Chains A and B, each alone.
Chain A
Amino acid sequence: AQKITQTQPGMFVQEKEAVTLDCTYDTSDQSYGLFWYKQPSSGEMIFLIYQGSYDEQNATEGRYSLNFQKARKSANLVISASQLGDSAMYFCAMRENYGQNFVFGPGTRLSVLP
């Protein structure tokens, strides 16, 4: 079974609008962390935002926020005021029980239209 599911292979958004990228996860651990990374065409993975399983508030980092719904095992990324430079692949990832094995989803390609 997939541990991380990203159901949107590709998304389009108009510049300056908000967009939500979906992520659902599967784990039986109580302690886990959820991460979002951006991968531009240059290839490097860039850390965006993190949500711990015990965090009661949704994480926010600038224009990025994470809509964490623990009961639904959902950790959607919201990007507000999209910019052309946001066009990239976005990956949701999970680390269970503070281990070293990070599991990544298949990614969503976001294209921001001028």
Chain B
Amino acid sequence: GAGVSQSPRYKVAKRGQDVALRCDPISGHVSLFWYQQALGQGPEFLTYFQNEAQLDKSGLPSDRFFAERPEGSVSTLKIQRTQQEDSAVYLCASSLNPPGLAGLDPYEQYFGPGTRLTVT
């Protein structure tokens, strides 16, 4: 079956450009997560959607980062006025259920292959 897909797989942007990264979650998955993974490090949580509602955006590093999921399926992570420190792999993950339901552990996230963003 189809997993989580992300596009583009690679993106090179000049400093100051805006970029948009797309995530197609597994069909029917309620939860969608975005992570930023800098080179040689573990993923860092950016934001979480439950259907179309953005319930947690505590990890977004600045107001240049914006995410949306208007119809509760596809999500877009937008970065405005990119900076070199934005260079990273951006991972999207989806899950059938929302977190917070203890009886459903282990809580499994299904990750996409990521988008590698390089800002020059």
Contacts and interface: CB of A to CB of B under 8 A. Distances in A.
Contact of B100 (A4, A47, A100, A103): A100
Contact of B56 (A42, A91, A100): A100
B93 A33 contact: no
Given A35-B106, A43-B114, A100-B56, A91 B101 contact: no
Contacts of A44: 3, 111-114
Contacts of B101: 98
Interface residues of B, number: 34
A102 interface: yes
B109 A33 contact: no
B71 interface: no
B29 to A, nearest CB: 14
B43 A91 contact: yes
B100 A101 contact: no
Interface residues of A, number: 25
B59 interface: yes
B109 A100 contact: no
A100 B99 contact: yes
B6 to A, nearest CB: 9
Interface string A30-53: 010101000000111111001010
Given A91-B43, A95-B99, A107-B42, A102 B109 contact: yes
Interface of A: 4, 31, 33, 35, 42-47, 50, 52, 91, 93, 95, 98-107
Given A44-B112, A100-B55, 9 more contacts: A43-B113, A44-B3, A50-B106, A52-B105, A98-B107, A101-B48, A102-B45, A106-B40, A107-B41
